[in-house]
Amino acid sequence: MFIDFLGGSDSGALEALNAKLGKPGGYASVDAALADQEVNLVYPVAAVTVRKSASATENIAANDNLQIFCDDGKAYTVAQRNVAFVENGYSAAGLPAPVGVVFTLASGKKVVLYLDFFNDTLYRIDGSAADTAASLAHSPYNTIGAVTAAASGTDSSTNKDWSITSDDTTDEWILYTENTKQSFRVPKGINYVNVYGDTDDYAERTESLYQITEWLRHRMAVDSGLTTEAADGTIAEVEILDANGDQAAAGTDMYFWVGGEKSDLKAMYNKNNLHATAAIQLTDTIRTNIYNAQVTAGMNMNDTGVNSSTKKLLAPGCKGAEAIAVDGKWMIITPYLTQVGNLTQCFGDAPAVYYVRSKGKALPPTELGDRMYFNKTPLSGWSTYFSTVEGLSLTWFNLTATYWYAGRNSAANAWYVTQSYGTRNVSSTVGRYRVAGASGLL
């Protein structure tokens, strides 16, 4: 029943469609990059007749370059899925569950875009208001979005050295911080990309942003004042409680606790000196203001405050405070904050990156956004099929929303595609857009 990914297409239909729309589809921004590729940006649409029952049929808009991916690890065309439905007694019960859609890229590679996308609402870092629903910020703003050369220095926030060195045997950059004695690795060649980039290396780009963000968090870790016999690098849970070790009531000071021991450190975000604009680095004054606002609101960076269930800061996969053993003491790692000069734009870590990674996925290649836009008809056809034929209620793609993609354009920007207009552009990484995970198929 499953697609072998060797299917072709009707060349006559392709030629007719290209003649009608203007090769390869009446758009300008990506024409030069995709016009002569093997798989056209616009998939020809056919009306596939499917059976709803022994006596009823329906026509569904479809193309075999847009398959449904199911939890059995296989991909199906509309016709193949309907055969399984019919053979199952016109019932979806027990059939493999749809979990994503398979797109064929210009390179011929297959990418799954998953239906398990972020669909919640987070609060601003100070608890002042709910943020944009079903949307996340991308990754750290105006600090380090790509590693392209060896470097070294000392962080003024911690007075500890850091370095970027080359591992020629693995073709990776090694990101090291003396502060926690930890190293993080990113592949070489992950640079900022222009409009035509990030087709094949989207998974590597997503993982690189994660590793860079973890490196930034470790560089800013602070001494908790608590000792330990744990081996260097041991990670421990950090609780945020009041001075007595209980849930802190709104308006009550909060402290870091490790292994049942209280630190004298209040539960503030660690300072950092890495923002490109010195005036909006995370200073003592700003982090104290954030802490005071969180105390008042009854929330904290771990999402364990008395009001945190209704004022969440963390998307799935995002980290709160952690402790790491270094030279016999517990060091506290907190979320890394950027754009703290504007608390309505401030966020912790790289929520879009952490979210998709927690699902075992990556941010998609930007080309996928174009393919979503120019193939809305067969994409909507799948939605129609499941609702009207199989009677399934699926959370489907929002075909008017703006989605983030893996590529960073600069230290401040990342790529997005707006499905309402098909616009591919860049925006500040602190902007809030929708996030869906992707993975490749061989």
Tens of each residue's pLDDT in the chain, 442 residues:
333 222 233 333 333 333 333 322 222 233 333 333 457 889 999 999 999 999 999 999 999 989 999 999 999 999 999 999 999 999 999 999 999 999 988 888 899 999 999 999 999 999 999 998 999 999 999 888 899 999 999 998 899 999 999 999 999 999 999 999 999 999 999 999 876 666 789 999 999 999 999 999 999 999 999 999 999 999 999 999 999 999 999 999 999 999 999 999 999 999 987 776 766 778 888 899 999 999 999 999 999 999 999 999 999 999 999 999 999 999 999 999 988 888 888 888 999 999 999 999 999 999 999 999 999 999 999 999 999 999 999 999 999 999 999 999 999 999 999 999 988 899 999 999 999 999 997 5
- Residue 152 resides in a domain: no
If asked whether residues 37 and 85 sit together in one domain, one would say yes
Class of residue 254 by CB neighbours under 10 A (exposed 0-12, middle 13-18, buried 19+)? buried
Phi, psi of 194 (to 5 degrees): -90, -170
Contact criterion met (CB below 8 Å) for 353 and 145: no
Count up the domains in the chain and report the number: 2
| Measured CA distances, 167 to 182, 186, 261, 348 (Å) | 15, 10, 40, 30
If asked whether residues 311 and 373 sit together in one domain, one would say no
Q: Enumerate the H helices of 139-263 as residue ranges.
A: 202-219
If asked whether residues 371 and 434 sit together in one domain, one would say yes
Phi, psi of 365 (to 5 degrees): -70, 145
If asked whether residues 325 and 281 sit together in one domain, one would say yes
Contact criterion met (CB below 8 Å) for 194 and 179: no
If asked whether residues 364 and 328 sit together in one domain, one would say no
| pLDDT value, residue 38 | 55
The CA angle 363-403-310, to the nearest 5 degrees, is 90
Which positions ≥6 away from 22 have C-beta within 8 Å? none
CA–CA separation, 269 vs 262, rounded Å?
17
CA–CA separation, 257 vs 320, rounded Å?
13
Contact criterion met (CB below 8 Å) for 97 and 70: yes
Final residue belonging to a domain, choices 319, 335, 351 = 335
| pLDDT value, residue 408 | 93
- Residue 155 resides in a domain: no
In the 8-state DSSP scheme, what is residue 209?
A: H
Omega of the bond leading into 24 within 30 degrees of 0 (cis): yes
If asked whether residues 27 and 105 sit together in one domain, one would say yes
- Residue 347 resides in a domain: no
CA–CA separation, 69 vs 98, rounded Å?
6
- Residue 206 resides in a domain: no
If asked whether residues 397 and 437 sit together in one domain, one would say yes
If asked whether residues 425 and 324 sit together in one domain, one would say no
- Residue 180 resides in a domain: no
Contact criterion met (CB below 8 Å) for 327 and 317: no
Give the CA-trace dihedral at 189, 193, 195, 196, to 10 degrees: 0
CA–CA separation, 393 vs 398, rounded Å?
15
**Residue burial 62-77, b: 16+ Cβ < 10 Å; e: rest:** bbbbbbbbbeeeebbb
| pLDDT value, residue 404 | 97
Contact criterion met (CB below 8 Å) for 337 and 346: yes
- Residue 328 resides in a domain: yes
- Dihedral sign from CA coordinates of 324, 330, 335, 336: negative
- Residue 177 resides in a domain: no
| pLDDT value, residue 121 | 95
Long-range contact pairs involving 206-210 (C-beta distance under 8 Å, separation at least 24): 206/353, 206/356, 206/357, 206/362, 206/363, 206/406, 207/357, 207/362, 208/146, 208/147, 209/139, 209/140, 209/145, 209/350, 209/353, 209/408, 210/350, 210/353, 210/354, 210/357
Q: Enumerate the H helices of 144-283 as residue ranges.
A: 202-219
Structure tokens at 17: 């469609």
Model confidence, pTM: 0.89
If asked whether residues 311 and 238 sit together in one domain, one would say yes
CA–CA separation, 304 vs 194, rounded Å?
40
CA–CA separation, 417 vs 415, rounded Å?
7
Domain, as residue range, for 329: 221-335
If asked whether residues 366 and 331 sit together in one domain, one would say no
If asked whether residues 43 and 96 sit together in one domain, one would say yes
Structure tokens at 389: 């034929």
- Residue 230 resides in a domain: yes
Which positions ≥6 away from 314 have C-beta within 8 Å? 122, 302, 303, 320, 348, 351
Maximum pairwise Cα distance, the chain: 76
Containing 13, the helix (H) or strand (E) segment is helix 11-21
Structure tokens at 343: 């608390």
